């Protein structure tokens, strides 16, 4: 299925966050830990994604999306290894927005950030945080297209990519070249997740 991959812009945030809320609405232990109430999860998930995209990922160039027939059908969010430190005013603005968006999920979010930081294989590694695909398009190649966009860059720069996934997604990650390097929990009572690392692939050089 041919999709267009491009960098996200501010005008995409509303549609991106709505799609990500659908992508993580069910069968996602991390979202369920952040927002335990099924009836509130879609709204809170959408608000959280909107705040994260606007204040965390767009400013550092870590947001891409897949477009099919004019609609956003996939979103990829990551931390480039050389992401600039945000200015103080952006951090000050982001805090209240995330508090409002996440409500009681703030503590879980802090726990997740800490757990991800502890799993970095080296200081030059690239952290891939979210990959979301429209639920009706799972196994259609959208996620693979978004992953290739990241891997094209990290492989040229010879950097490791790392992230986490639930047990059911391990086959998808291993198919992309990741290997499981351990497990972790988000906070003392959070869900068990699997740490996944992908070493850079060898990029042929012109002779």
The token pair that represents 5 in the structure block: 């991959």
Task: Say what the pTM is.
Answer: 0.86
- The per-residue DSSP string of 68-122 comes to ETTEEEEEEEEE-TTPPPPPHHHHHHHHHHHHHHHGGGHHHHHHHHHHHHHT-SS
Tens digit of pLDDT for each residue in 152-180? 999 999 999 999 999 999 999 999 999 99
CA distance 82 to 72: 27
pLDDT at 80 over 90: no
pLDDT at 1 over 80: no
Tens digit of pLDDT for each residue in 93-122? 455 555 555 556 677 778 888 898 898 898
Domains of the chain: 4-198 (3.40.630.30)
Burial code (b: 16+ CB inside 10 Å, e: under 16) for 17-43 equals: bbbbbbbbbeebebbbbbbeeeeebbe
CA distance 17 to 187: 25
DSSP 12: G
Mean of the per-residue pLDDT values of the chain: 86
Report pLDDT for 192.
Answer: 95
Q: Is the distance from CB of 115 to CB of 184 less than 8 angstroms?
A: yes
- Taking residue 109's Cβ as centre, other Cβ atoms within 10 Å add up to 18
């Amino acid at each position: 299925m041919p999709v267009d991959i491009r960098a996200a812009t501010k005008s995409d945030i509303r549609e991106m966050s709505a799609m990500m809320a659908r992508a993580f609405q069910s069968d996602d232990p991390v979202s369920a830990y952040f927002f335990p109430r099924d009836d509130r999860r879609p709204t809170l998930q959408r608000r959280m994604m909107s705040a994260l995209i606007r204040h965390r990922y767009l400013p550092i160039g870590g947001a891409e999306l897949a477009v099919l027939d004019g609609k956003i059908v996939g979103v990829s969010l990551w931390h480039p290894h050389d992401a600039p430190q945000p200015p103080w005013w952006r951090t000050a603005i982001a805090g209240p927005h995330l508090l409002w968006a996440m409500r009681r999920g703030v503590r879980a979010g802090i726990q997740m950030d800490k757990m991800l930081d502890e799993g970095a294989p080296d200081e030059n590694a690239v952290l891939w945080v979210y990959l979301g695909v429209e639920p009706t398009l799972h196994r259609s190649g959208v996620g693979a297209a978004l992953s290739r966009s990241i891997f094209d860059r990290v492989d040229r720069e010879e950097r490791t990519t790392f992230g986490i996934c639930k047990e059911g997604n391990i086959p998808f990650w291993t198919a992309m070249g990741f290997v499981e390097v351990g497990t972790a929990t988000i906070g003392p009572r959070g869900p068990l997740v699997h740490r996944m690392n992908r070493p850079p692939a060898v990029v042929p050089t012109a002779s």
